[in-house]
Structure 1
Amino acid sequence: MRNPARYASLAAVGLLALSSLTACANDAAGSTADTGSGGKGETVKIMVGGLDKVIYLPAMLTQRLGYFGAEGLNVQLLSEPAGVQAETALVSGQVQGAVGFYDHTLDLQVKGKSVESVVQFSHAPGEVEVVSAKAAGSLTSPKDFKGRKLGVTGLGSSTDFLTKYLAVKNGVNVSEFTPVAVGAGPTFVAALQKGAIDGGMTTDPTVATILDKKAGKVLLDMRTPEGSQEALGGPYPSSSLYMQTDWVNGHKDTVQKLVNAFVKTLAWMSTHSADEIAAKMPADYSQGNKALYAQAVKSTLPMFTDDGVMPKGGPETVEKVLKAFNPVIKNANVDLSKTYTTEFVKAAK
């Protein structure tokens, strides 16, 4: 379990503060997943914004299926609790790739960083806005966000972005509620149970645990394309592998191998059941409840693409969402064509 105080300190020092980078590096060193390839082949380090989150399941599943090794790669999967910290590790050069939300590529572009998604895992956020059992009677829609404490994985994370958009879309100014960085998993659930937050945005398996413990209810479900359309007005490409553009251009053979492996995994997922997928994952991901974990996988499966291709209109939806509340992006010209590439996915086919 992570210390919630750490999230607050990371947020306070800012995206690229030295202490944040140091904490990220230390955690990464202690969170390396077994590569399963015997240390052979070209080594690539990828930071994941929560290896045990179902929204990022393709990362570990690709490794467990042996597809990285089959491509001649020795992929080291590292883990941080929030996508914004995976982003930090990438731009600081600690890792070659990050598995996180595509929206970070737009955010980084306006900050002068050239980063692009090379394979798109999803066409929906996979996120769920939940409300605590105690607040459920009065917090019935995003219109009720005013004056509330709302949990997000980290400040500046994609859950933070989406929460702010839902607020603004429903007439609540971002200054009228308080985002609280509580991570995911046990720290999120505890914050909900203890009243540290009234509700918040999270993913499976945290959602499944909340419902199982009757600690809260689903307020808004964005695990399906239909849910994304209703809440955000279009497809919302979220989970992806994104990398610094300069690195991509200088290592195209390696990037192609990574994309080959991920596209193969997405195709495998589209032809296997949630139970079969769950069975491939590390035993500790189920936290002692295999049936609940399989249900979490099943609930989230609709968010994934089966081919790794960027969904049509997806980048535009993400830009619209970010421009609604982010003054830096609102007044900037974002070149969407530089935030993703389909070059490698097309070649993988």
Structure 2
Amino acid sequence: MLKMKKTAIILFAAMLLTAATGCSSTTSSTTAPAAAADKKKEEALQTVKFSEVIRSVFYAPHYIAMEKGFFKEEGLNVDMNTAQGSDKGAAALIAGVADISLVGPETAIYIYNQKGDKTLKIFHQLTMKDGSFLLSRNKVDNFKWSDLGGKSVIGWRPGSAPQMVLNTKLTQEKVAQTDVVTNIASTAMAGAFTSGKGDYIQVFEPIASSLVKEGKAHYVASVGQDFGAFPETSYVATSDYIKKNPAIIQKFVNAVAKGRAWMQTASSDDIASALMPFFDGTPKDIIIQSVDRYMKQDTWPAVPELNAQQFDTLQKVLIENGVLKPEQKVADINAVVDMSFVKKIGKAE
């Protein structure tokens, strides 16, 4: 009897083992191929080392392209870091630690005039307005640019696009004796202002809306809207990289274009939801406000092309600000600009 019980137990255990093995085998056969396919797809993506100048909602189409998977649709994996300055972003390209940088297009002109071994080329014009906003410490009704006379403004580093745009605007408005502070790091500007430095501050979104919401500043003007069209931020790569990797550049341009197109039909809430992973700790209402401000000033052009007229405007501002001598003006736009990839957006290969 005992022997029979033992035999029954052994048989029952064997049945359980067979059932478990069968179940495991079935699960493996259904999930393993899918997992393997996903892994293979990930491995097939080409990695692009990408450097952005700063983190700002000003560059929303790029983040949307990342979050909505448009880069992956094009077969690219974007490895992104933040340079904290166009000069650093350009240096990363020259050093080979970045493949593509989002920087001020003036960097390509500076590098070209150095006559070094490497040159940079602008291949996509992401923004067509300055992205900064002017905030005041005390409420100002009916702001006029002349209100800045005799006041101090926390601004951007010398030679940077927002600093030059502000300086040119002050010159155009004939505003005298404005002290523009340019020696504070971009990451420390808001802190310096809230601690009591400066009568005004020039900042990008979402910092501008955050300071206003916290009651630490008052919105007075959009520098970009008041200044007008200006090619402030471009995608740039070395001439060598573009020559060796035209397919990657085209895929990159296509993905960003998809990001901008998606934003044109998406709701403010959906756009903010897609951007939130890139702005940890920033409330959704602030992101919505930031996007709305950039949308209203027509920041992102439908055709992201840097043309001859805009290039001339850029060089004029550089000369007016003393960072480019008249004799250093680049006569041939093609020396530092390649818009051939932009012209192929939406066209079948």
> What is the TM-score when the length of structure 1 is the normalising length?
0.76
Q: Which amino acid counterpart does residue 303 of structure 1 have in structure 2?
A: T
Corresponding residue for residue 294 of structure 2: 300
In the TM superposition, residue 291 of structure 1 has moved relative to its aligned partner by 1.2
Q: Is the 8 A contact 1:59 1:99 kept in 2?
A: no
* Equivalent residues of 1:40, 1:74 under 8 A apart: no
AA partner of residue 315 (structure 1)? F
Q: In the alignment, does 2:277 pair up with 1:287?
A: no
Could you tell me which residue of structure 1 aligns to residue 15 of structure 2? Answer: none
CA contact (8 A) 2:165 2:227 kept: no
What is residue 161 of structure 1 aligned with on the other side? 164
Could you say which residue in structure 1 is the equivalent of 2:244?
A: 250
Give yes or no for the alignment of 1:63 onto 2:66. Answer: yes
Residue number in structure 2 paired with 1:333: 329
Matches of 1:338 and 1:216 in 2, distance apart?
A: 43
**1:207 maps onto 2:213 in alignment:** no
Which residue number in structure 1 is paired with residue 22 of structure 2? none
Q: Deviation at 1:146?
A: 5.2
Deviation of 1:91 (Å) = 2.5
How far the C-alpha of 1:86 sits from its partner, in A, is 1.8
Structure 1 residue 181 and structure 2 residue 184: aligned? yes
Q: SS at the partner of 1:303?
A: coil
The letter of the residue matching 1:239 is T
Structure 2 vs 1, CA of residues 286 and 294 (structure 1 numbering), >3 Å: closer, same or farther?
A: farther
**Aligned pair in 2 of structure 1 residues 160, 104: CA closer, same or farther (>3 Å)?**
same
The Cα offsets for residues 232-275 of structure 1, whole Å up to 9 and x where unpaired, read as 5xx21222211112221221111111111111212112222332
Contact persistence 2:134–2:220 (CA under 8 A): yes
Asked whether 1:95 is paired with 2:98, we answer: yes
Confirm or deny: 8 A CA contact 1:141 1:219 kept in the other structure. no
For 1:206 and 1:244, the matched residues in 2 are separated by: 31
Deviation at residue 201 of structure 1 after TM alignment? 2.1
- Which is higher, the Rg of structure 1 or of structure 2? 2
Give structure 1 stretches of 5+ with no counterpart: 1-36
- Residue 342 of structure 2: which of 339, 342, 345 is its match? 345
Q: Which amino acid in the other structure matches residue 48 of structure 1? A: E
Of residues 137, 140, 145, the one that matches 1:132 is 137
Task: Identify the match of residue 324 of structure 1 among 320, 323, 328.
Answer: 320
- 1:85 paired with 2:88, answer yes
Contact 1:39 1:74 survives alignment (8 Å): no
- Inter-CA distance 266–95: structure 2 relative to 1 (3 Å threshold): same
Identical amino acids, percent of aligned pairs: 19
Q: Is the 8 A contact 1:143 1:171 kept in 2?
A: no
Q: Which residue of 1 aligns with 2:310?
A: 314
Give SS of 2:101's match. Answer: strand
Gaps of 5+ in 2: 1-40
Instruction: Provide Cα deviations, 1:145-199, integer angstroms capped at 9, x if missing partner.
Output: 55735332x4432222223323333446899643232314xx3322112223332
Matches of 2:108 and 2:252, distance apart in 1: 19
> Partners in 2 of 1:82 and 1:188 — Cα distance?
14
Aligned partners of 2:179 and 2:44: how far apart in 1?
53
Cα separation, 1, equivalents of 2:100 and 2:230: 21
Aligned residue-pair number: 300
Q: Give the whole-Å Cα distance in 1 for the aligned partners of 2:182 and 2:203.
A: 13
**Cross-structure match for 1:47:** 51
Q: Deviations over 1:101-152 (max 9, x none)?
A: 2233233333336222211122212221333228x69x95267355735332
